[in-house]
Chains A and B, each alone.
Chain A
Amino acid sequence: MEILIPLGSIKEEVKIVGTLKAKNITALFDTGAYRNYIRKQLSDGDTVESIGFDTYEGEHKALLADGSETKGERIRFKELVIKDLSEKEPEFIMMENLLEDVIIGVHLMQRLRINPDPLSEKISIRK
């Protein structure tokens, strides 16, 4: 008999350093997303504006899982800290209607050598 174990989502706290403040936010590490995303208004009521970004790179059209298209805006914060890793000037797509506050995509995970482990629902860093 085959037993299927439903896998949860991989979430970890990350720190976003903006021009106005730094903020710890729980992020979803999503192997189905290529880029990084952030919700314009976070679940605790705080906003991307209050963290402060120093680069705005224009509008961005994103394709959702259901095939529909939605609009976002490309921005860069000063720094993103994940565990003991740091990414300077990380790019995020800022959007209104995200289910999660922050989504970390595959591109950044590959570059920082972050390994998402669906079984333990944690991330590990490859040395």
Chain B
Amino acid sequence: MNLLAVVTTMPRTKVQLRTIPPPAEGTRTVFELQGLFPAFKGKGETDFVCGHCGQVLVEGIAGDAVIKNIVIKCPKCGNYNEIPHLSFAEVKQKIAVHLETALGVKDFKISYAKLEGNIWKINIEYSEKVGTLDLAKSGMFDLDAVTGEVLQFKRDSTWRF
């Protein structure tokens, strides 16, 4: 009997980091790897690779891992790489897309937002048409600041800060 060994592996996600000019002294935490890399190794499915040469700098990041605000100097090509993080403008854009898709709402205001770890906790205000009335509504979001994924949206609820 022939036994066929089937090896299944989880699909890995490669995230190309953004290369930046060498940071001014004392402004960033910079990891300069000397022969020892990747800088971080985990059991997750996401790898961060150098934005210039593709060298794996961070391997196996799990979805809930928090690595931010650091710069890694690539040991292969010497470029400085920044861990990705959504700008606030991108956060607003993600919310706009979600609200329009879920509720058909185009106009909204962010009344408060707080970055906790890698999660933006956001309160929003918008108006909803009910018959001829415009009703003031509120909602709360949890949004992943690295991937941009909407983790939670609740209507008629707000975060308490």
Physical interaction between A and B? yes
CB within 8 Å of A: which B77-102 residues: 82, 85, 87-89
Interface string of B129-155 (1 = CB under 8 A from A): 000000000000000000000000000
Which of A20-73 touch B at CB < 8 Å?
A: 20-24, 49-50, 52-59
Among candidates A21, A56, A59, residue contacting B27 with C-beta atoms closer than 8 Å: A21
Question: Cβ of B68 and Cβ of A19 under 8 Å apart?
Answer: yes
A58 to chain B minimum Cβ distance, whole angstroms, is 5
Q: Which residues of B contact A21 (CB under 8 A)?
A: 23, 27-28, 69
Closest to A52 in B: B85
Tell whether A54 pairs with B114 under 8 Å between CB atoms, given A21-B27, A22-B26.
yes
A22, A23, A54, A57: the one within 8 Å of B112 (CB): A57
Chain B window 85-126, contacts with chain A (Cβ cutoff 8 Å), 1 for yes, 0 for no: 101110000000000000000000111111100000000000
Q: Are A55 and B89 in contact (CB under 8 A)?
A: no
Contact of A49 among B26, B69, B89, B109 (CB under 8 A): B89
Beta-carbon contact of B88 and A49 below 8 Å: yes
A48 to B89: give the CA distance in the assembly, Å: 11
Interface core residue of A20, A49, A53, A58 (most chain B CB under 10 Å): A20
Since A19-B68, A20-B85, A21-B28 are in contact, a sample of 11 more A-B pairs with Cβ atoms closer than 8 Å, ordered by chain A residue number, is A19-B115, A20-B69, A49-B88, A53-B88, A53-B115, A54-B115, A55-B113, A56-B110, A57-B112, A58-B111, A58-B112
Q: List 27 A-B contacts (CB under 8 A).
A: A19-B68, A19-B69, A19-B85, A19-B115, A20-B68, A20-B69, A21-B23, A21-B69, A22-B26, A24-B27, A49-B87, A49-B88, A52-B69, A53-B88, A53-B115, A54-B114, A54-B115, A55-B112, A55-B114, A55-B115, A56-B112, A56-B113, A56-B114, A57-B112, A58-B109, A58-B110, A59-B109
